Amino acid sequence: MSFPHWSLKSCATTCRFPHGMSFAPPFSLTFLCCERARVLQSVGSSKLKASMKAVVITSPGGPDVLKLQEVENPQVKDDEVLIKVAATAVNRADTIQRKGAYPPPPGSSPYLGLECSGTIEAVGKHVSRWQAGDRSVGSSKLKASMKAVVITSPGGPDVLKLQEVEDPQLKDDEVLIKVAAAAVNGSDTIQRKGAYPPPPGSSPYLGLECSGTIEAVGKHVSRWQAGDRVCALLSGGGYAEKVAVPAGHVFPIPPGISMTDAASFPEVACTVWSTVFMMSRLSAGETFLVHGGSSGIGTFAIQIAKYQGARVFVTAGNEEKLAACKNLGADVCINYKTEDFVARVKEETGGKGVDVILDSIGADYFRRNLDSLNFDGRLFVIGLMSGPVTELDLRAVLSRRLTIQAAGLRYRSPENKAVIVREVENNVWPAIVAGKVKTVIYKSFPLSEAAEAHRLMESSQHIGKILLVLTLLGSAGCVMLTMHFTIQLVSQHLFYWKNPKEQKAIIIIILMAPIYAVDSFVGLLDIKGSKTFFMFLDSIKECYEALVIAKFLALLYSYLKISISKNIVPDEIKGREIHHSFPMTLFQPRTVRLNHQTLKLLKYWTWQFVIIRPVCSVLMITLQAFGLYPSWLSWTFTVILNLSVSLALYSLVLFYHVFAKELAPHSPLAKFLCIKGIVFFVFWQGVVIDILAAVGVIRSHHFWLDVEHIEEAIQNVLICLEMVVFSVLQQYAYHVAPYSGDVEKKMLNKKRE
């Protein structure tokens, strides 16, 4: 019922109104309420007098049978809400109902309208999510309010599609998390094929762990509140924008860990701690073998086992993966393709075998795992990659007192999972905070590329966790916006090409923002690049910066009709005093008279940076590439370049102050701030990031990504964002208006003729 001013909706068919959207639904035709109905006085009464208006079908027929009439208020049931309708949409089904061929279901409102928007006026006594005053949309058809990766049918990665789905329903003991990142696990690929369904009552969507921000909490939740930054162990639903999860399955994000990286911890931490330590009782001084050492489970197990004092053995399929395991702390690394891991384990343990094995392979490794165990050894099976069926000779189990266990984390009871989560928080989180256990993230994907993430997972080429990052394309979006605003301004100048000398300089200047943005984005694409690579990228930006400074001075000369090459200096500015300040007074008189020679000197002071910057860049990159770049040489180049750029900027500031009155009509300050602002922000935010890293605020939790790489990434992301701002400011500072007047007048006159 939507055509009336009042509408009843079951809680299950009511959605919160998206922030920033008007009440009118996004449909081609809507009705807007034109008269306020009286406030509902007695919801619980058995009969209410007519107190609202509704469109009534007076008799089956054409559109003329629809009449706006006074009708009774609707009755609010215990599980319903009463909505004061602001707008409702017209559907084809309404026209069929009007003709008498599409009656409403028994017990439903007799009035037209299948969807509406408005404000909740009252709620039934069994309703907990909604309250009076909420702005909402309600419809049996309007449930989609978030995006999730959906398995359209069992099969390969291509069956994964990002679709609009209904928001999760929040239970009393749950929290609703707005997902920032979710990790990909091997079990996700099995579920995609139809062989690993979620537990009953769980989300049908993929994703066993996530990180994000709590949006809402159930009424029985006391520890968490809206706004908390958390990560969580899930039974499903991580591949979505929102997920509801029991409050007992939620972790605080460890200090020093980013929101994105935190998504890679819950599943592996709970799996490894519950199987290896809680059930298999691995202790300090024992030996531990984990198969698939370069997987997400493996990389985590290596680190936490070493932290607990065990000797760690791993198997992996190539030397790159073995090297990664070695870097994480593995003591014995075995290439299962070229070595017999049973023989190697026996050799390394003096014929005894290891104390605990964590196996995800299954049938093919079962008997070989038993042969690799020491007396009182414990085998824990968590996966069946090679199959579920094998044979067991019980004599080996009996004679060496072996323990064989198997379990999956996903199908444990919520209460058991909550116990594991608390154990992990108490025992594993301190190791993460101390930097003893780090995230191992091989590659990140946006949520829309879940299929590509699955392909990579199934290729076994990854090392560590693969993350689906919802905001990965943000920097690319900033670059595109910067390009858009810049191209728009450049095209305007090209269209109104009136003063080539000035406008060439302007185009070179305004291209500074997109060049900085693209250069920084390239740095993000190769986040693990070498120092030489990042030095090359910085050199591109700063060499172009030198050219821009020189062109800006040339632009100011042009405004004053000065030509150094043609020895043209207007008489009205000759002899004007120039006052130098310290430290330039060490090299120049405090006061000099302006003439051709002093103007030429200002030009040289700007152009010296155009020459010195590229020369220093070539030397720095060459020396860095050959490993001949000690810290003292780095500081030497830093001092030279800072003196050079300071001299260039000084010449611009000096010129502006001397000719401020003559330059005022050209908005030189706004133009200069666009240049100085870019240089200022890039330089000083780099200094701030260095300080934060030095005091330990910015830390590395990656075994392959050091603090310097993280600093570069933060710097590049900030530059991509800032260049959008500067490209917008340039629209004002370098507007085409001074050059478009005559052309527009001619076009207007031609149009009149």
519 pLDDT band (50/70/90 cuts)? confident
Q: Is it true that domain 473-745 has CATH number 1.10.150?
A: no
Specify the pLDDT at position 46.
Answer: 39
- Can you tell me which residue has the tokens 């931490």? 269
88 pLDDT band (50/70/90 cuts)? confident
Query: What is the SS3 assignment for 305-337?
Result: HHHCCCEEEEEECCHHHHHHHHHHCCCEEEECC
Coil, strand, or helix at residue 105? coil
Residues 469-489 pLDDT 10s:
544 567 888 999 999 999 999
Residues in the chain, total = 753
Give the homologous superfamily in CATH for domain 280-406.
Answer: NAD(P)-binding Rossmann-like Domain (3.40.50.720)
Average of pLDDT values for 439-455? Answer: 82
Strands 242-246, 311-316: pairing kind: unpaired
Specify the pLDDT at position 553.
Answer: 78
Structure tokens at 147: 């995006």
Nearest 5°: phi and psi at 178?
-85, 110
40 pLDDT band (50/70/90 cuts)? very low
Specify the pLDDT at position 348.
Answer: 95
Specify the pLDDT at position 17.
Answer: 47
User: Using alpha carbons only, how large is the chain's radius of gyration in Å?
Assistant: 35
101 pLDDT band (50/70/90 cuts)? confident
DSSP state of 568: B
Specify the pLDDT at position 745.
Answer: 55
d(CA 753, CA 747): 10
d(CA 691, CA 119): 50
Specify the pLDDT at position 703.
Answer: 40
Average of pLDDT values for 689-711? Answer: 62
Specify the pLDDT at position 137.
Answer: 54
Lowest-pLDDT range, 23-37, 69-83, 509-523, 584-598?
A: 23-37
Average of pLDDT values for 658-684? Answer: 78
d(CA 432, CA 440): 12
pLDDT of 19 strictly over 70:
no
Burial of 106 (0-12, 13-18, 19+ CB in 10 A): exposed
Residues 730-742 pLDDT 10s:
998 889 888 886 5
Average pLDDT for the chain: 82
Write b or e for each residue in 296-332: b if 16 or more Cβ atoms lie within 10 A of its Cβ, otherwise e: bbbbbbbbbbbbbebbbbbbbbeeebbebbbebbbbb
Lowest-pLDDT range, 24-38, 218-232, 431-445, 517-531?
A: 24-38
pLDDT of 459 strictly over 50:
yes
279 pLDDT band (50/70/90 cuts)? very high
Residues 372-395 pLDDT 10s:
999 999 999 998 888 889 888 898
Specify the pLDDT at position 528.
Answer: 54
Specify the pLDDT at position 207.
Answer: 93
Average of pLDDT values for 689-713? Answer: 64
CATH 3.40.50.720 region(s) of the chain? 280-406
- At 694, which amino acid appears? A
Residues above pLDDT 90, as percent of the chain: 35
pLDDT of 6 strictly over 60:
no
Quote the Cα angle for 202-204-210, to 5°. 75
Specify the pLDDT at position 170.
Answer: 92
Average of pLDDT values for 22-32? Answer: 38
d(CA 379, CA 357): 5
CATH code of domain 143-276+415-469: 3.90.180.10
Average of pLDDT values for 650-677? Answer: 79
CA-based nearest residue to 87, from 17, 188, 177, 13: 17
d(CA 391, CA 30): 68
Residues 165-197 pLDDT 10s:
888 989 999 999 999 999 888 889 989 999 888
Residues above pLDDT 70, as percent of the chain: 85
Specify the pLDDT at position 43.
Answer: 34
Specify the pLDDT at position 441.
Answer: 75
Element (H, E) at 272: helix 266-272
**Torsion sign, CA atoms 116, 119, 122, 128:** positive
Strands 373-381, 403-406: pairing kind: parallel
Q: Of residues 467 and 510, which shows the higher confidence score?
A: 510
CATH 3.90.180.10 region(s) of the chain? 38-139, 143-276+415-469
Model pTM?
0.52
Q: Measure the CA dihedral 671/672/678/679, to 10°.
A: 160
- At 593, which amino acid appears? R
Tell me the CATH number of domain 38-139, given options 3.10.580.10, 3.30.43.10, 3.90.180.10, 3.40.50.720.
3.90.180.10
Specify the pLDDT at position 743.
Answer: 53
Q: Give whole-number Cα distances, 220 to 171, 247, 419, 426, in Å.
A: 9, 9, 18, 23
CA-based nearest residue to 388, from 602, 249, 147, 190: 190
> Do 253 and 277 contact (CB within 8 A), yes or no?
no
Coil, strand, or helix at residue 16? strand
347 pLDDT band (50/70/90 cuts)? very high
pLDDT of 125 strictly over 80:
yes
* Helix, strand, coil distribution of the chain in percent, nearest 5: 45, 20, 35
Average of pLDDT values for 350-355? Answer: 96
Lowest-pLDDT range, 128-137, 327-336, 350-359, 601-610?
A: 128-137
